[in-house]
Amino acid sequence: MNKYLTYAVLFALLGVANAARDFSNEEMAINTRHINAHNMGPSKWVAGENEFFRGKTLKDAKKLMGTLLEDKFLYAQPVKSFDHIKDEDIPDSFDARAQWPNFIHPIRNQERCGSCWAFAASEALSDRFAIASNGSINVVLSPEDLVSCDTGDMGCNGGILSQAWKYLSETGIVSDACFPYTAGNGQAAPCPAAGQCAAQGQTYKKYKSQDYYRLATVEDIQKAIMTNGPVEAGFEVYKSFMAYKSGVYSREWWQFWDELMGGHAIKIVGWGNQDGTDYWLIANSWGTDWGLDGFFKIKRGVNECQIESTVYAGHPLLA
């Protein structure tokens, strides 16, 4: 079967699955009763009302979960290991923001477009360019380029992490100044003509990843981050996650298929331990009013919400 037809079929099947657990237009993403009930019980995290979801229904919120979590057997991508680094040399905690000050770019906001897959990929590559070049290439790259021009993915309707990194490797993306993000209204802008910026007066240049690879173990994810910078990961979002405010997130024990919102992509920037619970430190793309000023922590080492199953990165092409 043609690979693009395969992708189309998979997205269609994902749509059928989503329809099977469709949410009411009336059911709001913020549920104060559920938040209060959660905070009354024993938990490693605190729930609260996040501005990003104020006024949104669950149906609105579900459209933002635009990542198709691929099957690692169907999408047999290269797997990279860091065997040259001993596991015992991995520090107990790590924060890329502290390790590389000024090279880890700020939290952004995907708004009303299911473009998380594009934000996390472009942000990880942006950070890695700054780190690899020691700051000489410190540029915010364009998620809009991926949303509008990557024909292997589905724009505001979603994307596949391996496909996004394939585009970064084979085609590359321009800077955010060259092609600013305008898809926040849910509609991707037309892809500019080759060699042209969407914004006038900007210099056209494509920034590429020289390769891309999947990271298959917790230790290799950690080694990749501490060596080269943040990575992109996809995970399953349950209703409770939208109310995350602080602490180390894990889904409620009673949340199953009917509570699943869809797949979401984010940027892992580090790890640590809080009150005896190992966690990943992660940058989201829902603005700074959500969670820990745009960041969150999620349980590490147990593949919580499949967070360790779909992880990608690549080395920036500096030449």
CATH fold, domain 23-313, is Cathepsin B; Chain A (3.90.70)
- Would you say 49 and 32 are in contact if contact means Cβ atoms under 8 Å apart? yes
What is residue 8's predicted lDDT score, i.e. its pLDDT? Answer: 43
> At which residue do the structure tokens 């292997």 appear?
152
Task: Determine whether 286 is exposed, middle or buried from the number of CB atoms within 10 Å of its CB (0-12, 13-18, 19+).
Answer: buried
Which of these is catalytic: 31, 50, 228, 284?
284
Our separate counts of H helices and E strands in the chain read: 8, 9
Q: At 207, which helix (H) or strand (E)?
A: none
Q: Where are the domains of the chain?
A: 23-313
- Give the whole-angstrom CA distance, residue 142 versus residue 139: 10
Hey, is 94 helix, strand or coil? strand
- Give the whole-angstrom CA distance, residue 99 versus residue 89: 16
- Give the whole-angstrom CA distance, residue 217 versus residue 309: 8
pLDDT in tens, the chain (319 residues): 444 444 444 444 444 344 334 445 568 888 898 899 899 988 999 999 999 999 999 999 999 998 998 765 556 688 999 999 999 999 999 999 999 999 999 999 999 999 999 999 999 999 999 999 999 999 999 999 999 999 999 999 999 999 999 999 999 999 999 999 999 999 999 999 999 999 999 999 999 999 999 999 999 999 999 999 999 999 999 999 999 999 999 988 777 667 899 999 999 999 999 999 999 999 999 999 999 999 999 999 999 999 999 999 999 999 7
Which of these is catalytic: 116, 156, 197, 305?
116
Closest by Cα among 151, 149, 135 to 178: 149
Tell me the sheet residues that pair with 214.
Answer: 79, 312
The CA R_g of the chain, rounded to the nearest whole Å, is 19
Annotation says 315 is catalytic: no
Closest by Cα among 30, 314, 26 to 167: 314
Closest by Cα among 25, 121, 26, 20 to 66: 121
Helix boundaries (H) for 133-217: 143-149, 161-170
Closest by Cα among 276, 76, 104 to 162: 76
Backbone angles phi, psi at 173, to 5 degrees: -130, 160
Q: At 24, which helix (H) or strand (E)?
A: none
Specify the pairing of strand 231-238 against strand 310-313: antiparallel
Angle at 169 between CA 296 and CA 219, to 5 degrees: 45
- Give the whole-angstrom CA distance, residue 266 versus residue 315: 18
What is residue 54's predicted lDDT score, i.e. its pLDDT? Answer: 92
What is residue 24's predicted lDDT score, i.e. its pLDDT? Answer: 52
Which of these is catalytic: 50, 264, 305, 315?
264
Closest by Cα among 133, 120, 137 to 206: 137
Annotation says 138 is catalytic: no
> What's the token pair of residue 164?
């996004």
Prediction pTM value = 0.91
CB crowding 33-65: b at 16 or more within 10 Å, else e: eebeebeeeeeebebeebebbeebbbebbbbbb
Annotation says 197 is catalytic: no
